[in-house]
Chains A and B, each alone.
Chain A
Amino acid sequence: GDSVTQMEGPVTLSEEAFLTINCTYTATGYPSLFWYVQYPGEGLQLLLKATKADDKGSNKGFEATYRKETTSFHLEKGSVQVSDSAVYFCALSDQSNNDMRFGAGTRLTVKP
């Protein structure tokens, strides 16, 4: 079945460092891809999404490009802030069955 694999954490960075969190997927159809963020004590919030190959999702300085050839959707940010500390989840949704699959999550801690 469909699945998502993302890099294990935790990831600890200094403020203004460059962030990459890797995500790869396996899907039989043509899924939509998502990054969700979970701040401490809260539910997940959509960070960005892409619906087809070569689409780039972006929000709050984060971006990710839907790469069909490498089945990847890596999350990047050029300069992280302390407020970006959270758990980040990669996910896919196969529109043929509306089944959303999440990766295990990557905890990011940004230190001043």
Chain B
Amino acid sequence: DADVTQTPRNRITKTGKRIMLECSQTKGHDRMYWYRQDPGLGLRLIYYSFDVKDINKGEISDGYSVSRQAQAKFSLSLESAIPNQTALYFCATSDLPSGTSTDTQYFGPGTRLTVL
């Protein structure tokens, strides 16, 4: 079974609808992230969470909200979807850094969202 799973894998919705993307992980990591990927722009960070009680805005948080329901679950919501939120969305997890260890991130398979 995959360590980081995302549901749904594909979603088509209409402008103004509320959408929730879900992410679950079995790696036991405290840190979780949401990114969006757009052609030519790479990945941009939307929100991240260092533990259940910690939520932080990333580079492009406007129009999005998140909920960390448990250590293993981190969901992303679009309260009122708009067409320029059409993108590929990735969830990722990482360990706490310690000493010289690095913040390697482990990614889910992605959710392709289309807003019409």
| Chain A 91-112: CB-based contact to B (< 8 A → 1; otherwise 0) | 0010100111011110000000
Q: Is residue B72 contacting chain A, with contact meaning CB distance below 8 A?
A: no
Verify if B113 is at the interface (C-beta below 8 Å from A): no
Give the chain B neighbours of A22 by CB distance below 8 A: none
Interface size for B (C-beta < 8 A) is 25
**B42–A44 contact, CB under 8 A?**
no
How many A residues, CB 8 Å from partner? Answer: 23
Of B35, B45, B105, the most chain A CB neighbours within 10 A belong to B105
Closest residue of A by beta carbon distance from B97: A95
Query: A89 — nearest CB in chain B belongs to which residue?
Result: B42
Closest to B48 in A: A98
Q: Chain A, 35-49, contact with B by CB distance < 8 Å: what is the 0/1 string?
A: 010000111111001
Question: Are A43 and B103 closer than 8 Å at their CB atoms?
Answer: no
Do A51 and B102 form a contact, CB below 8 Å, given A42-B109, A43-B109, A44-B107?
A: yes
Partner of B45, one of A95, A100, A104: A100
A105 to B35, CA, bound (A): 14
Across the interface, which residues of B come within 8 angstroms of A51, CB to CB?
100, 102
Main SS of chain A's interface residues?
A: strand
Rounded to whole angstroms, the CA-CA distance of A44 and B107 in the bound complex is 6
Proximity string of chain B (90-105) to chain A, C-beta cutoff 8 Å, 1 when within and 0 when not? 1010000100101111
Establish whether residues A98 and B107, one from each chain, have CB atoms under 8 Å apart when the complex forms.
Answer: no
* B82–chain A nearest beta-carbon distance, Å: 23
* Binary CB contact string for chain A from 12 to 48 against chain B (1 if under 8 A, 0 otherwise): 0000000000000000000010101000011111100
Question: Could you list which residues of chain A lie within 8 angstroms of chain B, going by C-beta atoms?
Answer: 4, 32, 34, 36, 41-46, 49, 51-52, 89, 93, 95, 98-100, 102-105
Binding site for A on B (CB under 8 A): 4, 31, 33, 35, 40-45, 48, 50, 90, 92, 97, 100, 102-110
